[in-house]
Structures are given as structure tokens and as C-alpha cells.
Amino acid sequence: MFSGSLTSTRDRARAWTDSLFVDHAVFRLLWDNFAAVIPGRIYRCNHPTPARLAAAKRRYGVRTVINLRGHRQCGSDALSRDAAARLGLIHIDRAFESRGAPHKDRILDLARIAETLVEPALIHCKSGADRAGLASGLFILFNGGTAAQALAQLSWRFGHFSRSRTGILDAFFIRYAQEGEGKKPFLDWLREDYDEMALRRDFVAGGLSSFITDKVLRRE
């Protein structure tokens, strides 16, 4: 088991074992869904290996990493956090969930982070599909984009399934398009009109897609 320390060669070997086989990074080595959200400013991906973090800094000038998983006791977290420090990158933890109605307070906190964000920034969760798609869409809205542009960040090309329980993230952007877009700025709608409980109550997920997402792919 990974102990949380990276002070020795044995610790690093345990961290890599935990990352590859417990946190499923072996699949992320085979499939990288890195993409630009706002070219030159915001990028997204699945949980990056140290080598991919170094490549993102070298190729895209990334200066900040936003970790949507939060601080976790796992090898992937320890390795990427250590790599960010070694590369001189700012590392920010802002945990989100993928199967519940997006929390108003967490979105507002991300908006505050965006105000002073040192760009270019790289957003990641575990698989780079659901939480990364939500946060990418939010950054688009923070920067004056449309709900349709935000919704496009929740796509099958990143591994997102809109008919599973994670489809509630799509429903969030759709609700803004229906209720607030063109009437008031996104953050004003969020503060004044967004109802988490109503969105949770109204959303119905598909059984097969939820099984694939939750049991086969084992998303967080």
C-alpha cells in the first residue's frame, strides 16, 4: 500500500504501483484526452503523469495546475503534486463531484480562483471526462462564452456519457440556457436563481450508461 511519502526509491515505487493499478493510471498511459479549452489560457486532461505535466509546461507554457479531485491519499496525487513542485507550477485543489447537482459554493469558489489565476492553467480530474468537463464549461462561462460552448466540454470524445448519472452536469448547463442565458450574467443567475435541489429532483439517469460509468469504468 502507498504510505503517502515519496522520500525514498521504495516509496516512489509504491506510489507508481498504487497509481497504475489501484488508481487505474495504466489506462491513462494508453489514453490521454488533453485538449485546449481556451487556447493559450486554459487546458484540460485526465490525471497527468509527471512526464505529461512536464510536457504541458514545455509545450504550452502551463503555469498552474487545478486538481478537481482534491487532496487524496493515492499515488497519482502524490506523484503529480511532487512533479508540479519540481517544475515550479502552482498547484490548486478545488474538489468537485461528478454525479450530483453542481454545488453553488464550489462554483463560486472556482470563480474566485479564476479572478487571480496565473495562466496558462491545466485542469484535471481522474479521467478528464466529467469534472474536468464541468470546470472547463464553467471557465468558458466565466469568460463570456455561451451555454452551448460550455456544454460541448461534456462530450463522448473525452469519455463523458450524458445518459449516465454524470449527465446531471449536462443538465446544469442546459438549465442555465433555459432559465438565465440572455437574461442575466451566469454568476448572477447562479447566485440568485440556481436551485440545486430542483435540478437533482428533476434529473433522471439512464441505467445502462450509469452501469458503464460507475461499475465498468469505475469513475469517481
Sheet holding 35-38, edge to edge: 35-38, 42-45, 121-124, 64-67, 90-93
CATH number at residue 87: 3.90.190.10
Q: Is residue 2 part of a domain?
A: no
Q: Is residue 146 part of a domain?
A: yes
DSSP symbol at 166: G
State phi, psi for 86 to the nearest 5 degrees. Answer: -65, -30
Q: How far apart are CA 170 and CA 154, in angstroms?
A: 7
Instruction: State the number of CA atoms in the 13 A half-sphere of 180 facing the CB.
Output: 21
Instruction: Find the radius of gyration of the CA atoms of the chain.
Output: 17
The confidence score (pLDDT) of residue 218 equals 52
Q: Is residue 102 part of a domain?
A: yes
Q: Is residue 205 part of a domain?
A: yes
- DSSP-derived 3-state class of residue 1: coil
For the entire predicted model, the pTM comes to 0.91
The confidence score (pLDDT) of residue 1 equals 62
Q: How far apart are CA 164 and CA 98, in angstroms?
A: 11
Q: Is residue 183 part of a domain?
A: yes
The series of mean pLDDT values per 10 residues for the chain, 220 residues long, is 85 94 93 96 98 98 98 95 98 95 97 98 97 98 98 95 91 96 97 96 65 46
- How many folded domains does the chain comprise? 1
- Domain with 135 in it: 9-216
Q: Is residue 1 part of a domain?
A: no
Q: Is residue 3 part of a domain?
A: no
